[in-house]
Amino acid sequence: MQTKYLLPILLILITQSVLSQNKKSFIESQQTIPFQKLYLHTDREFYFLNDTIWFAGYLLHPQTHTPLKTDCNLYIELTDSSGHSVQKEFFPIEQGFCPGQLTLNRPELEEGNYLLRAYTDLLGEYGDDLIFSKPIRISRVKNTAGHETKDKDKHKIINNITIDLFPEGGFLLAGKYNQMAFKATEPSGRDVEIHGRLLNGKGEELMKFSSLYRGMGIIYFIPEQREKYTIEIDGYPNVIYNFPKISDTGAKLMIYKENPDGIDVNVLLNETVSNQKYYVTSLTRGELNSFAEVSRNKKEKIVHIKNELLKNGINRVVLLNENFKPVSERLVFIDEAEDASLKLNLNQFQFRPREQVKLEIDVCKNIDRNEIANLSISVIDKSSIPESGITENIKSYLLIDSELKGYIASPADYFINEPQISSAKKLDLLMMTQGWSNYVWNTLTKRERIPEIETHLGHTFTGTLKNYYKTKKLTDSEVILSVSGKTDNFMNFTQTDSLGNYTFDNVQFYDSAIVFIQGKNKRDKLNTTITLDSILFSSPETTSSELTLAKHFTKIPVPMLRTKYFNEARLKEFFPDRDTRLIEEVRVTAARPEEEKSQGRIRIYTEPTHTVVLKENAYAYPNIMEYLAGRVPGRVDSTYLFLIDGIEVFSTDDFPAYDYVTSIPVGDIERVEILKHAAGTYYGMRGRNGVINIIIKRGGGRTSTPDILKGTIVKRIKGFSSYREFYSPAYNSENIRSEIPDYRTTLYWNPSIAVEDGKVNCTFFTCDNVAEYKIFVEGITENGTICLGEAEFEAVKNNDTTSENY
């Protein structure tokens, strides 16, 4: 009797165990490699040559969108529409955030479309669609009065188009009601709005269909397996398409109804598989949300997934067979719109030129007021915004652009309701087309190799130390690193390992600096040979979707061109030498060595305090210090910091730098540059008593490197780009009537606004432009909630003032 009941119990337990194990295996198969999400909020999308791109970088956890509390390098790259890199900078990300700027003053920059790309060491290793990429337009200042610029490509007559077909659930199932999405594009990749018909093998029209948004639409029909279907499109005689195969067996899912409290998943089965077990599961960014078995007893195979089990953004709904193998899937977008809202309160909506604007930013009701939010704000002239609106924001990037591979035109537009189509419908079309096989999280589970990328902040210098004849690697030997720059001067020490290799990690300095690496043997001698591995960071390859993104980005609006042209004309009247002065500023702020004056030698200072050029009678002096005595005001002695051709000379226990300098034949020296007192601060505390730079002759004079530089590598290396604050003038009764013009396309920019008590206040002043302005606030909370807010105001002319700028 006991055996009679025991056997069924054992079967149930075994079945549950197998089910649990299969479920566990499926969950493990969905685990992804570690990566990051990186987003840049820029002040605008249209720029002119010599403008500055202001940005705020957000480094976030890919699943939760919480700020990553890590410090690492942020690489910023400007790439032209052909994929060639034209400008690179790198900045420090600290605790997940990074403010910065990119000045568009490179001589190689030309008018055109560009990609602003951003990545970390980890994202650069993965490349592909994981790096941040945003199209921008750079233009010259030009007069557009009297004519409108047109997008010639937009009005070009196209005869050939491609229709891509995407059956819901992955395939067409014969005899069942199917949804099949489509997307129509030109050969260039631009979307096309179409009207067409579906025909059977006899050429009979089965149904009409039209695109609903950006060339996308849906065809509803019941396919027959042996039928040959064709498509005709009005106005396009040549249509390229591949009609999907029709299967007479299998199971697939269809999201046939969305209701307020969740989604309903309809499982379509034919008779051959109707008795098998199936499961419906949903995942968001690689994490399991829900799991349910499909009932075999009910005629309608419907699984309801409640809203609380779904997450904001893309949810992947998967149909599993009894072996827990995916047989059909579909992406569904859940838009929790209120979670991303900020309330922006202005003290008024009309302002005079140079009047103070007071803005209160209030976090939305769904965010805990004790939760810290990090925000960035941009206030720009509305004429600098594309006609269709800003193409991307933090919400569209985190929830769409970073989740789907390939080219997506204006992702921010998918969250805007229009009279003819809702945001929800736009997003569903995107899920059924772009999301059909391009979900990033699916590709991340398939990678076999996980790159071993360490987090670095700053440069990492590595190399090998060998004896002078390069026949033996030197182990446990000292290597010295010296950095001499305008703002950073320091030394580090390390020892070589058992293979003669050395490493200096997280070497941080700003702008360019002289990096001096010197290796000694165990006898503290410099008879060594030292190498330095490449420190250049390679750019991830530009993908075809990125190039398409740049190619189809819109041109600068004509009102923006006109405003800029007339503003520049007025500035030219006030500053007649404006063009020349700007060029000089570009040259000086670049902080480059003066090659003409230093004759190619390395020099981080601009002008020495004294320069002594050696004359023919210098040969009569025993050493250079004797020659300098009496020729340079003040005392010149061993307390000075000594350089040879701009390279710092280090003292050793048995050979002080002063002794070496005095051993150099005077006839080998061309000149001596001396920095006194404050001028020596270029080299920090080491130069507090003064600096003596000995310039060795070239050509007919001495040509060999001084022996003191054996075992030495010297390079000028670019460090972090220095951050500077956005200039926002504060007007008062004393300067409000200043005749100096104030024209700003970006009226105000602040990349680092911390909200700690639910509210924060900002103030800024309008400029001389009479215009409409738009405020964009973006950010993230410490718990990963997306923050987004917009507001508008107007600067109107003040007729009561006598200033012509009003």
pLDDT in tens, 291-329: 998 887 666 688 999 988 999 999 999 999 988 889 999
Tokens for 396? Answer: 């569209």
> DSSP string of 301-326?
-EEEEEGGGS-SEEEEEEEE-TT--E
Confidence of residue 799 (pLDDT cuts 50, 70, 90): low
Percent of the chain with pLDDT over 90: 50
pLDDT at 709 over 90: no
Is the model's pLDDT at 387 over the cut of 60?
Answer: yes
Q: How confident is the model at residue 452 (pLDDT cuts 50, 70, 90)?
A: low
- 160-334 maps to which CATH number? 2.60.40.2840
How much is the average pLDDT of 572-588? 51
Same fold: 37-139 with 160-334: yes
Q: 3-class DSSP state for residue 759?
A: strand
d(CA 708, CA 298): 89
Residue 243 DSSP code: P
Residue 671 is encoded by which pair of tokens?
Answer: 């000149």
What are 557-568's pLDDT values in tens digits?
A: 889 999 998 888
Q: How far apart are alpha carbons 488 and 37 in whole angstroms?
A: 31
Name the token pair of 584. 């000089």
Residue 476 has pLDDT above 90, yes or no: yes
Residue 21 in this model has a pLDDT that exceeds 90: no
Half-sphere exposure for 412 (CA within 13 Å, toward CB): 15
Ranked by mean pLDDT, the top range of 164-168, 251-255, 445-449, 485-489 is 164-168
pLDDT confidence of residue 161: 95
Please give the average per-residue pLDDT across 736-746, as a whole number. 92
Q: What is the DSSP string of 219-278?
A: EEE---TT---EEEETTBSEEE--PPPEESS-EEEEEEEEETTEEEEEEEE-GGGTTS--
pLDDT tens digits, 52-75: 999 999 999 999 999 999 899 999
Q: Look at residue 448 and tell me whether its pLDDT is greater than 70.
A: no
Listed in order, strand segments (DSSP E) in 105-177 are: 112-119, 132-139, 160-167, 172-173
Predicted confidence at residue 702, as pLDDT, reads 43
Q: What percent of the chain has pLDDT over 70?
A: 84
Q: What is the mean pLDDT of residues 722-741?
A: 91
Residue with more model confidence, 157 or 228: 228
For the chain, give the mean pLDDT.
85
Q: Are 720 and 744 in contact (CB under 8 A)?
A: no
pLDDT tens-digit profile of 213-245?
999 999 999 999 989 999 999 999 899 999 999
Average pLDDT of the segment spanning 493-497: 96
From 528, 527, 474, 482, select the one nearest 498 (Cα to Cα).
Answer: 474
Q: What is the pLDDT of residues 621-644, one digit of tens each?
A: 778 988 898 888 888 888 899 988
pLDDT at 652: 63
Residue 148: the pLDDT is 46
For residue 397, the 8-state DSSP code is: I
Contact by Cβ (8 Å): 624, 661 = yes
> Is residue 380 predicted with pLDDT exceeding 50?
yes
pTM for this model (two decimals):
0.81
Higher pLDDT, 373 or 8: 373
Reading the block at residue 265, the tokens are: 């998943």
DSSP string covering 61-107: -TTT-PBP---EEEEEEEEETTS-EEEEEEEEEBTTEEEEEEE---T
* Residues 236, 193 contacting (CB under 8 angstroms): no
The pLDDT of residue 531 is 93
Domain parsing of the chain, residue ranges: 1-30, 37-139, 160-334
Spatial contact of 656 and 642, defined as CB atoms under 8 Å apart: no
3-class secondary structure, 503: strand
DSSP bridge pairs for 282: 290, 317
CATH topology of domain 37-139: Immunoglobulin-like (2.60.40)
pLDDT of 593 reads 40
Query: What residues are paired with 39 via a beta bridge?
Result: 58
